[in-house]
Chain A
């Protein structure tokens, strides 16, 4: 579904990502792991369109999307979460989610000033999509709570819901279980599996090894910006190069 060919990113003299090629398969859970500073988030930024690559190609569903902006990529169906999600803390959770479906709407300034039917209809749809997304992640009961009041785990789920509201085909999750306790991590993992069951393709960055090993269908390992391994969890676990890379750094299995 997402085909990466020789992707490279240089910042001046520093090469953050070097010649990475990989295929992320449809309807599977793909994971990217690697020691700190391996270039995982830069890689994410590249494929989500947040930064332009120095060289290489990105194909989404066969279409060349290299160099497109993040909003263009989002419109094509790739949605992304961040490690920290900025919500409007003084508004309700549901209120925060309504803008999630905005990219699928057409209403502009004229519609707003004239109060056209199209605007009303689109706002109705956005609200429905927001509620649906919230229901999907299991947070219907907080829809009217103030966003500043919810827990960290609930916040992570809201980030998922926001990405879901854009009607994506593929989700890029940046450390979805970050800052969340082991019990809640299981819940997040279940949610990710539920996403895939409903036809989504998932690609995530994570540091929590137990979670990744139990969850992922395919894992890519990055180190110093290069792909050092690719395969199933069993293959990765046994791969000597990967073990070496991790033992070399102080990043222990979570």
Chain B
């Protein structure tokens, strides 16, 4: 699984992201939009792990993001914790709950799993809305402190918040890159290709699926924690399944099951929505049909299609080279023999 242009490409993207505030020429609004996009990008990358790499469409993902967000909100506002300790817990609390949800739900496959998680997501939303003693109900939690500063840096201003979020995004992408290209990532992808075959290859389905699930909701919880410290107030709306739909959209546009895809989608789509500002509340009138068109005609998204095209190209070149080799082979097997074919097909 090749990543576009390898390390250089990623470093370039990072450099662009670091330079962005200077392009934005001190426009706080742009910084906020971008930073929010980064937060959801982290959650989307997590969703991609369970859906794109492992093949199970989790419709409760935004519920777990809410878990992370409310962990921070409740601990800081109701119990006087400072931001960082609360934030450190956000991913783990989400994963903890994810363990139990995963254990029960991952015995189901395909549609059943998605329906089940849709219900779990609903339960989470309703619990947040009704359990006023814990979550403040529909009133929400307000006055969440910004991340506490250190070494002379404070995180009250949009610019420093932007860099903070960027830092965690970079960390998240790096970790996912590591996972996706490792034996572990390949295990997840084998499961996506087919449960039966993966099991026949000696892969313990439940253990790996639950692991993937826990990892993916860890990302969601982390994103939620960041969201809380960034937006500074929370309501049950953060758990709404609409956010999962948004993230599904980002994944699909960018390319499900790739590394760059969800990232690209999470940044490109919100910006597009910005330009279509008047659509803000009605964005789904456009996005709905767009989702359908994409799923029918471009199911692999931008990045996926590019990768497929590149692989096909390399394949074509390889078989042309092999054919040429075969032609120059002398009838008696000669000097240019079969042993050379391996070297010529390197993509």
Chain A bound to chain B: yes
Chain B, 202-219, CB within 8 A of any chain A CB:
202-205, 211, 215
Chain B window 181-194, contacts with chain A (Cβ cutoff 8 Å), 1 for yes, 0 for no: 01111110110011
**Please, how many angstroms separate the alpha-carbon atoms of A204 and B155 in the complex?**
66
Chain A window 76-97, contacts with chain B (Cβ cutoff 8 Å), 1 for yes, 0 for no: 0001111001111011100100
Chain A, 103-121, CB within 8 A of any chain B CB:
103-105, 107-109, 111-113, 115, 119
Q: Is A144 an interface residue (CB 8 A)?
A: yes
Min CB gap B333→A, angstroms: 15
Q: Is B315 an interface residue (CB 8 A)?
A: yes
Which residues of B have CB within 8 Å of A142? 345
Which residues of A have CB within 8 Å of B175? 113
Min CB gap A209→B, angstroms: 27
Binds A, one of B74-82, B226-234, B273-281, B305-313: B305-313
Interface size range of chain A in the complex = 35 or more
**Please, how many angstroms separate the alpha-carbon atoms of A105 and B187 in the complex?**
11
Interface class of chain B by DSSP: helix
Q: Are B311 and A119 in contact (CB under 8 A)?
A: no
Chain B, 165-201, CB within 8 A of any chain A CB:
175, 178-179, 182-187, 189-190, 193-194, 196-197, 199-201
Give the total number of A-B pairs whose CB atoms are below 8 A apart: 123
Nearest B residue to A89 via CB reads B308
Q: Are B341 and A140 in contact (CB under 8 A)?
A: yes
Min CB gap A43→B, angstroms: 15
Q: Are A90 and B308 in contact (CB under 8 A)?
A: yes
Q: Are A109 and B342 in contact (CB under 8 A)?
A: no
Which residues of A have CB within 8 Å of B308? 90
Q: Are B200 and A82 in contact (CB under 8 A)?
A: yes
Which residues of A have CB within 8 Å of B111? none
CB-contact partner of B315 in A100, A122, A149, A166, under 8 A? A149
Chain B, 95-153, CB within 8 A of any chain A CB:
none
Min CB gap A148→B, angstroms: 8
Q: Are B347 and A70 in contact (CB under 8 A)?
A: no
Nearest A residue to B347 via CB reads A144
Q: A71-B204, A90-B304, A113-B178 are in contact. Are A144 and B197 (CB under 8 A)?
A: no
Q: Is B291 an interface residue (CB 8 A)?
A: no
A-B contacts, 8 listed (Cβ < 8 Å): A69-B204, A71-B199, A71-B201, A71-B205, A74-B202, A87-B193, A88-B193, A141-B338
Nearest 10 CB-CB pairings of A with B: A103-B202, A74-B202, A86-B194, A70-B199, A99-B186, A86-B193, A141-B341, A146-B311, A112-B182, A146-B315
Q: Which residues of A contact B (CB under 8 A)?
A: 48-50, 69-71, 74-75, 79-82, 85-88, 90-92, 95, 98-100, 102-105, 107-109, 111-113, 115, 119, 122-123, 126, 140-146, 149, 162-163, 166
